[in-house]
């Protein structure tokens, strides 16, 4: 589990696809202390929970390797990742950690497309569009996770929704590079999903 509070920006430094295109082995450089995680650890990469399968230090910088399987490649923006791609990283939540965002599973539900970016004097406003299936879980003042970042929905209308991003978030995540036409990983709020399921069962 995660909270949607990014703790580092990693960079893909190597990517090895299989011949069948069913699996991508990623090597991601980061600033985490190599001694604080081991093989099997979970790290959210742009909101996608990946399992560490190897790690080390090279040139004074930590790296870890993880596999993006066929389902991940089909459902998320991982299909577009390449060497040099920057990723929002978050280590798994530990008991006793501060819950600064909201409960995030790291299981992206799909993709949201950025329709417009409006740069305001003190923040940026993004309009996004998603599928009707996922839009029913998104409501004004509710939570969403976009590329691994916990955000509050400002407004929602049909399959579109808007978020306001403060300068700090723009500076310490990859969101500062978002622009119209970009695609981002979307995870809807777990509570909204369960509430909808309970309503369907009545």
**pLDDT for 41 beyond 90:** yes
What is the model's pLDDT at position 201? Answer: 67
CA atoms within 13 A on the CB side of 164: 9
| Residue 64 belongs to domain with CATH number | 2.40.30.20
Domain assignment present for residue 101? The answer is no
The DSSP letter of residue 71 is H
Structural domain total, the chain: 2
Same domain, 62 and 133: no
Same domain, 189 and 114: yes
Q: Among 81, 85, 96, 100, which residue's Cα sits nearest to residue 4?
A: 100
Same domain, 114 and 87: no
**pLDDT for 2 beyond 90:** yes
Instruction: Return the higher-pLDDT residue of 25 and 23.
Output: 25
Q: 112: which residues sit within 8 A by CB, 6+ positions away?
A: 128, 129, 130, 134, 146, 183, 184, 185, 186
Tens of pLDDT along 90-140? Answer: 999 887 777 777 889 999 999 999 999 999 988 999 999 999 999 999 999
Tens of pLDDT along 62-87? Answer: 999 999 999 999 999 999 999 999 99
What is the model's pLDDT at position 54? Answer: 97
What is the model's pLDDT at position 93? Answer: 87
Domain region containing 63:
8-91
The CA–CA distances, whole Å, from 49 to 44, 90, 146 equal 4, 9, 13
Residues in the chain: 202
Q: 85: which residues sit within 8 A by CB, 6+ positions away?
A: 11, 12
CB 83 within 8 Å of CB 28: no
What is the model's pLDDT at position 197? Answer: 67
Instruction: Return the higher-pLDDT residue of 34 and 101.
Output: 34
**pLDDT for 202 beyond 70:** no
Domain assignment present for residue 61? The answer is yes
What is the model's pLDDT at position 15? Answer: 95
High-pLDDT (> 90) share of the chain, %: 81
Largest Cα–Cα distance of the chain, in whole Å?
58
- Average pLDDT value over all residues in the chain: 93
Distance of alpha carbon 76 from alpha carbon 147, whole angstroms: 10
Instruction: Return the higher-pLDDT residue of 199 and 181.
Output: 181
Residue 192 phi/psi, 5° resolution?
-65, -40
């Amino acid at each position: 589990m995660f909270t949607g509070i990014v703790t580092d920006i990693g960079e893909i430094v190597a990517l090895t696809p299989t011949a069948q295109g069913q699996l991508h082995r990623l090597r991601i450089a980061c600033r985490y202390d190599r001694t604080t995680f081991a093989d099997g650890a979970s790290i959210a990469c742009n909101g996608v929970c990946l399992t560490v399968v190897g790690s080390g230090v090279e040139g004074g910088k930590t790296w870890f390797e993880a596999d993006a399987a066929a389902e991940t490649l089909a459902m998320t923006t991982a299909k577009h990742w390449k060497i040099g791609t920057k990723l929002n990283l978050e280590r798994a939540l530990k008991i006793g950690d501060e819950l600064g965002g909201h409960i995030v599973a790291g299981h992206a539900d799909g993709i949201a497309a950025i329709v417009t970016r409006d740069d305001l004097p003190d923040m940026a406003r993004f309009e996004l569009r998603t599928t009707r299936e996922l839009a029913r879980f998104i409501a004004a003042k509710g939570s969403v996770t976009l590329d691994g970042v916990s955000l509050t929905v400002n407004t929602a209308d049909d399959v579109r929704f808007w978020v306001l991003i403060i300068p700090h978030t723009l500076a310490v995540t990859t969101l500062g590079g978002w622009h119209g036409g970009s695609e981002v990983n979307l995870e809807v709020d777990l509570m909204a999903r369960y509430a909808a399921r309970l309503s369907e069962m009545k």
